[in-house]
C-alpha cells in the first residue's frame, strides 16, 4: 500500500530541516518495508506570497486533499510578510479546512538534553498536550469601530461549539486511556473568562461521565503554567482550548528543554482529510541559510506521522534513533543548540544511520 505524502518545506530553516526529515523517513521505510511516496509543493511560503500575492494557489484544497498526510516545515518570515497574513493564509487554512481539530505535542525529557528546571532527569517528565485546533480564541469574527479616534474599540469573538469542544475532549480522554497513569488535566480560566470557559468546564464534567477510569483535574491557565514549572511530573495528558493549548504546548517543551526539537501533529482523527505534521519551532530567520538548524523536530514529526498512518513500531524506531544519537553526544555530529559543532546534515545523517 502506497502512502502519498505532500511535502511543504515553507520558509527559513523549514527548507533546511525538511531534507533531513525525508532522509529519516526513507531510512525507516527501507527498514520496515513501507511504501512512501513524496510530492513536493512550493506554495505555503512567504516567497510564494511575494510572487503570487497569496500564500496558496486557489485550488490548493483540491491539490492536497487526496494525500495521506502533509509533512510541513515551518512558515513565516515577518520581514517579508506579516505573520498574521502568512499564518492565516497557510497553516491555519490547512488546520481548518482539513478539519485537523487535534493538535498533539509530546513534552518529554530526552537523554542528553538539558532541562532548564533544576534536578529533573529523563523519565521525570513525559506528558502530552492536546490542543483544540480549529475554533475558540482563533476566530475570524470581529472588527474595529470609531477607527482612528479616541473612542476606537476593537472586538474579537471567542467561539466554542459543542461539536468542537466535545470532540477534542473525547480525543484527550481516549488518549489518557492508553497511558499507564490514566490522568487528564483540563486547562480553564472560568474564574475570569466567564462565558466560554465555564462552558468548557461543563463539557469536561459531562464527558468525564463516560470515562470513569480516568482521573480528571483542572487548573486555571495562570496557575497551570506555574505548575508546568513547579510540578511537571503531575501531568499525563493536558487538554486545552486553541489558545491555552498553544501556550502550554510551547511552555511544556520549554520546560523539558526540547522547544527547538519538539514535534507536533495536526490531526483529523476520522481520516476524512490528510493530517499535518510539523516541528514546533518556527522558521528562525536569524539562523536561516547557515546550515546549523537542528533537524530533530522535523524528524520526530515524521515519527508522529508514521504512527498516525498505522506504523507505531516504525515511529518508535525513529524516536529511539533520536535518543541514541543524543545519548552518544558526539560533538562532531550534534548541532550547536545541543552542544555540538555539527550541521543540520551531520545530525540528520547520524539519525538516519541509527535507524
Residues noted as catalytic: 138, 189, 222, 246, 250
User: Per CB under 6 A, does 87 bind ligand IPM?
Assistant: yes
Helix (H) or strand (E) run with residue 266 in it: strand 263-267
69 CB neighbour count, 10 Å cutoff: 23
CA pair distance 87, 56, nearest whole angstrom: 11
68 binds ligand IPM (CB under 6 A): no
SS3 105: strand
Nearest distance from residue 105's CB to ligand IPM, in Å?
A: 8
Query: Among residues 51, 222, 233, 341, which is the contact residue for ligand IPM, using CB under 6 A?
Result: 222
CA 35, CA 48: separation in Å to the nearest integer? 30
Is 195 among the residues that bind its own copies (CB under 8 A)?
yes
Q: Which is nearer to ligand IPM, 10 or 257 (CB)?
A: 10
Q: Of 327, 214, 216, 279, which is closest to residue 75 (Cα–Cα)?
A: 279
Q: Report d(CA 340, CA 288) in Å as an integer.
A: 18
Which among 15, 17, 12 has a CA at the least distance from the CA of 286? 12
Q: Under the criterion CB under 8 A, does residue 208 sit at the interface with its own copies?
A: no
Kindly state the smallest distance separating residue 280's Cβ from ligand IPM, in Å. Answer: 7
Region near its own copies per CB under 8 A, out of 40-48, 61-69, 113-121, 288-296: 113-121
> What does 117 bind: its own copies, ligand IPM, none (CB cut-off 5 to 8 Å by kind)?
its own copies
| Nearer CB in complex with ligand IPM: 303/334 | 303
Strand 102-108, strand 126-132: pairing: antiparallel
Binder to its own copies among 155, 209, 270, 286 (CB under 8 A)? 155
- Please identify which residue in 192, 271, 329, 339 interacts with ligand IPM, judged by CB under 6 A: 192
296 binds its own copies (CB under 8 A): no
Cβ-based nearer residue to ligand IPM, 182 or 227: 227
Full strand arrangement of the beta sheet holding 183-188:
35-41, 2-10, 69-74, 275-279, 263-267, 102-108, 126-132, 237-240, 183-188, 215-220
20 vs 246 by CB, closer to ligand IPM: 246
Q: What does the binding site for its own copies look like in residue numbers (CB under 8 A)? A: 76, 82-84, 87-88, 92, 114-119, 137-138, 140, 142-144, 149-163, 189-199, 221-223, 225-227, 229-230, 242-243, 246-247, 249-251, 253-255, 259
Chain residues binding ligand IPM by CB under 6 A are 87, 191-192, 222, 246
Amino acid at each position: 500500500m502506497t502512502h502519498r505524502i505532500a511535502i511543504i518545506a515553507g520558509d527559513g530553516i523549514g527548507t533546511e530541516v525538511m531534507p533531513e526529515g525525508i532522509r529519516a523517513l526513507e531510512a525507516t521505510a527501507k527498514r520496515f518495508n513501507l511504501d512512501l511516496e513524496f510530492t513536493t509543493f512550493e506554495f505555503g511560503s512567504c516567497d510564494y506570497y511575494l510572487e503570487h500575492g497569496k500564500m496558496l494557489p486557489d485550488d490548493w484544497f483540491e491539490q492536497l486533499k487526496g494525500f495521506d498526510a502533509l509533512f510541513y516545515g515551518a512558515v513565516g518570515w515577518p520581514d517579508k510578510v506579516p505573520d498574521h497574513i502568512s499564518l492565516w493564509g497557510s497553516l491555519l487554512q490547512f488546520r481548518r479546512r482539513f478539519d485537523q481539530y487535534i493538535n498533539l505535542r509530546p513534552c518529554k525529557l530526552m537523554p542528553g538534553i538539558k532541562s532548564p528546571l533544576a534536578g529533573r532527569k529523563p523519565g521525570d517528565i513525559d506528558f502530552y498536550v492536546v490542543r483544540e485546533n480549529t475554533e475558540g480564541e482563533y476566530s475570524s469574527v470581529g472588527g474595529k469601530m470609531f477607527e482612528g479616534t479616541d473612542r476606537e474599540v476593537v472586538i474579537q469573538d471567542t467561539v466554542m461549539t459543542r461539536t468542537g469542544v466535545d470532540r477534542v475532549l473525547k480525543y484527550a480522554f481516549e488518549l489518557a486511556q492508553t497511558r499507564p497513569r490514566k490522568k487528564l488535566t483540563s486547562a480553564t480560566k472560568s474564574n475570569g473568562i466567564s462565558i466560554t470557559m465555564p462552558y468548557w468546564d461543563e463539557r469536561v464534567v459531562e464527558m468525564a461521565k463516560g470515562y470513569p477510569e480516568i482521573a480528571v483535574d483542572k487548573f486555571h491557565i495562570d496557575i497551570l503554567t506555574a505548575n508546568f514549572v513547579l510540578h511537571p511530573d503531575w501531568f499525563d495528558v493536558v487538554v486545552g482550548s486553541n489558545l491555552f493549548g498553544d501556550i502550554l504546548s510551547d511552555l511544556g517543551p520549554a520546560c523539558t528543554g526540547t522547544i527547538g526539537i519538539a514535534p507536533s501533529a495536526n490531526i483529523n482523527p476520522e481520516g476524512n482529510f490528510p493530517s499535518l505534521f510539523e516541528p514546533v519551532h518556527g522558521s528562525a530567520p536569524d539562523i536561516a541559510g547557515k546550515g546549523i538548524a537542528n533537524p530533530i523536530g522535523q524528524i520526530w514529526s515524521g515519527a508522529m506521522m508514521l504512527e498516525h498512518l498505522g506504523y507505531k513500531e516504525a515511529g518508535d524506531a525513529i524516536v529511539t534513533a533520536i535518543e541514541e544519537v543524543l545519548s552518544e553526544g558526539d560533538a562532531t555530529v550534534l548541532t550547536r543548540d545541543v552542544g555540538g559543532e555539527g550541521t543540520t546534515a551531520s545530525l540528520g545523517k547520524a539519525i538516519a544511520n541509527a535507524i
